[in-house]
Structure 1
Amino acid sequence: MYIVTGANLFGQWFSWTKNISFYDKFEIIHPEIESKFDFKKAKLITSCWSYNIFDIDNIFYIAGSWHGRDNQIVKIPVPEEKKQSCKASGLLITGNDYMIILVEAVTRSIWFFDFETEDFKKVKFNEEPILENAVKKSKLTDDVIKLAATNNTFIYLTSEGNVYTGQLPSYVDTHTCVGKACDIECGYEHYMLLTTEGRVYTWGNGRRLQLGHGDLTNLDLPTEVEALAGIKIVKIKAGGWHSLALSEYGDLYAWGWNDTGQLGMNINKDGEENLERKGQKNYAIPRPVDIYNDQGEEIELIIKDIACGTRHSAILLEDNTIWTTGCNKYGQLGFSPKDYEKLEYFKKSYHNPNIISVIGGPWSTIVEIT
């Protein structure tokens, strides 16, 4: 079950008969009865600007905008050659504003479904990782286990820890990374990689400091974020142009663009917004984020989960409270935009004893509960 706050401009979170364009507080989602959509069995796969992708019994559905019409629930097309075997083939899926991306995990075939042409284009992972040992060995299974995409970036991770980027996937040299790649994330212009040793690497466009290396330099290859080198990181998330990392001890680190307070650092000792500071400071290297309640008391609870939207962030604490910061144009922080156009520090916005995780949509915050 999902509880949501934020944008619903295209009916991606249903409530069509009520014509709700956005939620300004966390609401339990109930699809329209006539949709015959079994939301209790639905697993959210991707939340985009104009639609969501759900998985129900290994069949993918779009909710939201489809063929220029809003408030749709449509079974996602499958390539002709996969129609008979799509359930058993291990298809992964994501999407952006222009296309849906389907990846067959085992064969590593990729299909791009273009919204304008309504055609599938098939490509494959053409570049293979270079083996350090010249002795030929039998090829291990190297299934695709995760993919992520925005309008400008595409990234793929395999079971053997190999990473590929681009719409036409190119192998990324990760031989200098300490540990095996175990997670990947991408913003609108940058990439993040986490290894089994808890090391964080970033690359791509650094013009808004989202790489965390202390400068605006663009990087072609994964480079370790040195400020986190002595800290074991267990989770990473990429916003539009900012980045978050969670340590094994439940501490949050943030860096990058902070134009709407998405890093949650503008706070004084009284637990209120620092009104003396004019404009938001962007952070070129990761900094620990302190959380305060409305009385100005520091919250010393462990952070269990983290999430990013385009220009906002959300965290889940061990007491099952959700705290949010950043842009609130569509109520994505769980507060009315009339009360808060934005927040420049983390503020408690929701509590539920049954929270499993927090998920960031571009302009929404999603809570999964049992």
Structure 2
Amino acid sequence: MTYTVAGANVFGQWFTEENLFPYFHKVSLSGDNLKLNFSRIRLVDANWAYNIFQIDNDYYVSGAWRGQEYQLIKVEFPEECKNVNETDIVVAGNDYELIFVSKKMRILWVMEFDKEEIKKFNFTSDIPPEPEPENVVKKLRKEDVIVKTVTNNNTYLFLSSEGNVYSGVPPVQLDTRHCMGKVCDIQSGYEHCVLLTDEGRVYTWGNGRRLQLGHGDISNLESPAQLEALAGIGIIKISAGGWHSLALSEFGDLYAWGWNDTAQLGIKSQSPKSYSVPTLVDFFDENGEEVSLNVKDIACGSKHSAVLLEDGTIWTTGLNKYGQLGFPPEMEPVVNCFKKSFQCSKNIKLKCGPWSTIVINK
């Protein structure tokens, strides 16, 4: 894989001394100074101060670590993890801690940056099991393993292979029995959560004070509620930013909602305003003509958004403080609606850190 990055590199997390990339910059992940084989490198997590990479079964932190910048440190697993098969461990992180998850044993270890102590938690559930129908031959129960971990400051979400969602530390199962379809993806912002089911339904919950839940008001929700504005629209991908979210339909349409103080929703208007329900986003070229191309991929940063169109162009919008939109921040500190910023191949994946946009060439 190769990585092309725009945005913050304040702590050297991209293996160079430049503080930011004001244009999309292909990052070199090789060289004698790294002393590692980066041919199989995979970006796991992109945070404000550091990135997490995986090489085979090993994990590395690049950037700020233990008060020092420009670090490249192999992550040492907690002692108890060393008795677990390395392929069974998933590593993720936020601004305050690293977390280690045993996918099969369903155990979580949390390592806080300012403490040497490592805390251990088990995944638990208060939800009663579904009763077995009578006169039905019992099927062999599938192994329910943790397949995805999302952590964003004080938010922790975990998704299992059977579509079960766990939240918090310690992780407790979230009741999603009312959701239509099997949960297939989870995302989180700073104060809100989003899930997607295999029937194309989107549900949100958490803090709604900045309209980020998409239900038309600022109410808080303790459990997932379906976004009625997207009911009947087959959604295939979701992404959550700091206080905003994006959804991509099966027909290549983009929907956005939530806080829009820096035009992170990309909806063209005279002045940016927040949107309390999912709203269809249109794209316009430099001449103001509407662009009729399908969206293929989406990603959200803290206060910016990025999309890939079917012609291989990247379009970005929102805050550009660190050049995360692919433009010099002194020239365009904010971009008020989606604007073409980069041309790449079509076989790529988009990912955003809080203040960066990453093009991953598979």
Sort the TM-score into its range (normalised by shorter chain). Answer: over 0.9
Specify whether residues 132 and 49 from structure 1 end up closer, same or farther in structure 2 by C-alpha distance, changes over 3 A only: same
Q: CA deviation at 1:256?
A: 0.1
Amino acid at match of 1:93: V
Provide the residue aligned with 1:333 in structure 2. 325
Provide the residue aligned with 1:200 in structure 2. 202
Say which SS state the counterpart of residue 191 (structure 1) adopts. strand
Provide the residue aligned with 1:11 in structure 2. 12
Structure 2: give runs of 5+ residues left out of the alignment: none
Determine which of 212, 223, 227 is the counterpart of 1:210.
Answer: 212
Determine which of 21, 28, 31 is the counterpart of 1:30.
Answer: 28
| Superposed counterparts of 1:13-162, under 5 Å | 13-15=14-16, 19-31=17-29, 33-88=32-87, 90-127=88-125, 129-133=127-131, 140-162=142-164
Say which SS state the counterpart of residue 83 (structure 1) adopts. helix
Once residues 294 and 142 of structure 2 are traced to their aligned partners in structure 1, the CA distance between those partners, rounded to angstroms, is: 39
Q: After TM superposition, where is structure 1 displaced by more than 6 Å over at least 4 residues in a row?
A: 135-138
| Greater displacement, 121-130 / 318-327 | 121-130
Answer yes or no: is 1:289 the counterpart of 2:287. no
Provide the residue aligned with 1:271 in structure 2. none
Does the 8 A contact of 2:121 with 2:169 survive in 1?
Answer: no
Per-residue CA deviation, residues 65-100 of structure 1 (Å, 9 max, x unaligned), is 111000000011101122254424x21121001100
Does the 8 A contact of 1:236 with 1:245 survive in 2?
Answer: yes
Does the 8 A contact of 1:129 with 1:162 survive in 2?
Answer: no
Provide the residue aligned with 1:270 in structure 2. none
Once residues 159 and 26 of structure 1 are traced to their aligned partners in structure 2, the CA distance between those partners, rounded to angstroms, is: 35
Once residues 244 and 152 of structure 1 are traced to their aligned partners in structure 2, the CA distance between those partners, rounded to angstroms, is: 21
Determine which of 260, 264, 269 is the counterpart of 1:262.
Answer: 264
Once residues 292 and 334 of structure 2 are traced to their aligned partners in structure 1, the CA distance between those partners, rounded to angstroms, is: 24
Between Structure 1 and Structure 2, how many residues are aligned? 356
Once residues 201 and 365 of structure 1 are traced to their aligned partners in structure 2, the CA distance between those partners, rounded to angstroms, is: 26
Once residues 40 and 328 of structure 1 are traced to their aligned partners in structure 2, the CA distance between those partners, rounded to angstroms, is: 31
Say which SS state the counterpart of residue 39 (structure 2) adopts. helix
Once residues 65 and 237 of structure 1 are traced to their aligned partners in structure 2, the CA distance between those partners, rounded to angstroms, is: 26
| Greater displacement, 60-69 / 38-47 | 38-47
Does the 8 A contact of 2:53 with 2:61 survive in 1?
Answer: yes
Does the 8 A contact of 2:311 with 2:346 survive in 1?
Answer: no
Answer yes or no: is 1:175 the counterpart of 2:167. no
Does the 8 A contact of 1:147 with 1:157 survive in 2?
Answer: yes
Once residues 86 and 349 of structure 1 are traced to their aligned partners in structure 2, the CA distance between those partners, rounded to angstroms, is: 43
Once residues 85 and 149 of structure 1 are traced to their aligned partners in structure 2, the CA distance between those partners, rounded to angstroms, is: 22
Once residues 10 and 195 of structure 1 are traced to their aligned partners in structure 2, the CA distance between those partners, rounded to angstroms, is: 37
Q: CA deviation at 1:120?
A: 1.7
Amino acid at match of 2:214: G
Q: CA deviation at 1:239?
A: 0.3
Structure 1: give runs of 5+ residues left out of the alignment: 268-273
